[in-house]
């Protein structure tokens, strides 16, 4: 057992896979000599050398294009985009090329690549360096989308993503970087497409992702003090999506909430609510409720950003207000 922070877990997970597969390479801006701007790739250059851990120019299209070209010729690749907001700079490569090539070529091309990127708010970087953009990727057929909430999950889901033959967008949350936990010894390999019940409960189900998971858990403790038993599910993987775990939970609790950091419109929670409303309609005792950031660009000021992103208090109050049926 070793105590690892979320940021250390990224390098730990990558190193585990680079030791296992000598073909695996990575590239990105400032990832080698500098160890990454979030210090998530510290030590990789020293262990694996400059041929396998490559610094690149600020050229997001060239980075992701190179990852795709290498992957389609059989080299597994991890590419880093420094901030997930920069996905927009190379969206053609991700949405039009990487996501569609296997289907368009009727299976001729396989793309074993992972795009890692620092996602989410809470660190006062303003509207262009704080977005939660996992929904952008979720809505494109052909991309797998993963967003771990704990250091152990970072390692295990990194391994699962690297070993998956399909392209995976791997969202590392900036606000979780300093969190830490004991992680198990030995190789850690998780499974994509599996949600995890972080807290069992009987009165309502809360589905949360990444930085919203610890907030939902804290809110659940507050609700417990009021005699309300919340089950908290860490969705972990948006594509593939583990609806079975969620539907089973709703069958037990009869109430469904989502906690989403993304701006409101078309967040992943909307898809989950749609599924629950359709497939678990007769299990529900009340309307599904989404707790999200308002549909605004994220502000920079601490006070404003804290008001925007769902807080523990907001989750608690929303559940308290609505669990009796109030809108």
Partner 1 sequence: MPTDTADPRYDYALRPPRLPQPVDESLASAPIDLDVRLEMYRKLHLLRQWSKRAHDLFLQNLVKGTTHLSLGQEAVAAAFSSAMRPDDYTFATYRGHAHSLSRGMDPGEALAELLGRKNGVLGGKGGSMHLTDVTRGMMGSYAIIGAHLCIANGAAWSAQMRGTGQVAVCFFGDGTTNIGAFHEALNMAKIWNLPVVFVCENNLYMEYTPIDLVTAVPRPAADRAPAYGLEPIVVDGNDPDAVYLVAREAIERARRGEGPSLIEAQTYRHGGHSRADPGKYRPQSEVEAWKARDPIPMYHDRLLKLGTPEATLTGIERQVAEVVDAATEFAKNGPEPGLEDLLVNVWADGGAEWRN
Nearest approach in angstroms of CB 235 to partner 1 is: 11
Q: At what angle do helices 151-163 and 6-20 cross, to 10 degrees?
A: 30
Nearest approach in angstroms of CB 147 to partner 1 is: 15
Give the nearer residue to partner 1 in terms of CB position, either 52 or 252.
52
Q: How many other C-beta atoms can be found within 10 angstroms of the C-beta atom of residue 89?
A: 17
One of 129, 173, 278, 295 is an active-site residue; which one? 129
Q: Where on the phi/psi map is residue 109: left (φ > 0), alpha (ψ -120 to 50), or beta?
A: beta
Nearest approach in angstroms of CB 271 to partner 1 is: 9
Q: Where on the phi/psi map is residue 19: left (φ > 0), alpha (ψ -120 to 50), or beta?
A: alpha
Nearest approach in angstroms of CB 185 to partner 1 is: 30
Radius of gyration of the CA atoms of the chain, in A:
19
Site residues (vs partner 1, CB under 8 A): 25, 51, 56-57, 59, 61-62, 64-75, 77, 92-93, 96-97, 101-110, 141-142, 164-166, 193, 239-244, 275
Which residues lie closer than 8 Å to 245 by C-beta, 6 or more apart? 194, 195, 196, 197, 233
Backbone angles phi, psi at 285, to 5 degrees: -105, 0
Nearest approach in angstroms of CB 155 to partner 1 is: 23
Give the nearer residue to partner 1 in terms of CB position, either 242 or 305.
242
Clarify whether 278 is annotated catalytic: no
Which residues lie closer than 8 Å to 131 by C-beta, 6 or more apart? 84, 85, 119, 120, 121, 262, 298
Q: Give the C-alpha separation, 37 to 9, whole Å.
A: 15
Give the nearer residue to partner 1 in terms of CB position, either 8 or 164.
164
Q: Give the C-alpha separation, 239 to 243, whole Å.
A: 10
Give the nearer residue to partner 1 in terms of CB position, either 21 or 92.
92
Q: Give the C-alpha separation, 143 to 240, whole Å.
A: 9
Which residues lie closer than 8 Å to 1 by C-beta, 6 or more apart? 182, 183, 184, 185
Give the nearer residue to partner 1 in terms of CB position, either 69 or 325.
69
Annotated catalytic sites, by residue?
129
């Amino acid at each position: 057992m070793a105590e690892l922070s979320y940021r250390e877990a990224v390098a730990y997970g990558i190193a585990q896979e680079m030791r296992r597969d000598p073909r695996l390479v990575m590239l990105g801006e400032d990832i080698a000599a500098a160890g990454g701007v979030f210090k998530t790739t510290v030590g990789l250059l020293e262990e694996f050398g400059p041929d396998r851990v490559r610094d690149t120019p600020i050229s997001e299209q060239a980075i992701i294009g190179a990852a795709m070209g290498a992957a389609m010729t059989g080299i597994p690749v991890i590419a880093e985009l420094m901030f997930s907001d920069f996905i927009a700079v190379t969206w053609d490569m991700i949405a039009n090329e990487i996501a569609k090539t296997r289907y368009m070529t009727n299976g001729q091309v396989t793309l074993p690549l992972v795009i890692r990127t620092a996602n989410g708010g809470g660190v006062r970087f303003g509207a262009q360096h704080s977005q939660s953009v996992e929904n952008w990727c979720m809505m494109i057929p052909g991309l797998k989308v993963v967003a771990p909430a704990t250091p152990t999950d970072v390692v295990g889901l990194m391994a699962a993503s690297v070993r998956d033959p399909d392209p995976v967008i791997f969202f590392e949350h900036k606000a979780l970087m300093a969190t830490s936990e004991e992680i198990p010894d030995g190789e850690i390999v998780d499974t994509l497409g599996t949600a995890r019940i972080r807290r069992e409960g009987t009165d309502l189900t809360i589905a949360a992702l990444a930085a919203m998971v610890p907030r939902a858990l804290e809110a659940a403790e507050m609700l417990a003090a009021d005699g309300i038993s919340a089950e908290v599910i860490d969705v972990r993987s948006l594509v593939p999506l583990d609806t079975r775990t969620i539907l089973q939970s709703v069958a037990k609790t009869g109430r469904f909430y989502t906690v989403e950091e993304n701006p409101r419109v078309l967040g992943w929670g909307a898809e989950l609510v749609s599924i629950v409303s359709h497939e678990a309609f007769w299990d529900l005792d009340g309307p599904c409720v989404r707790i999200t950031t308002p549909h605004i660009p994220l502000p920079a000021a601490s006070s404003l950003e804290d008001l925007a992103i769902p807080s523990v208090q907001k989750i608690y109050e929303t559940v308290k207000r609505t669990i009796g049926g109030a809108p």
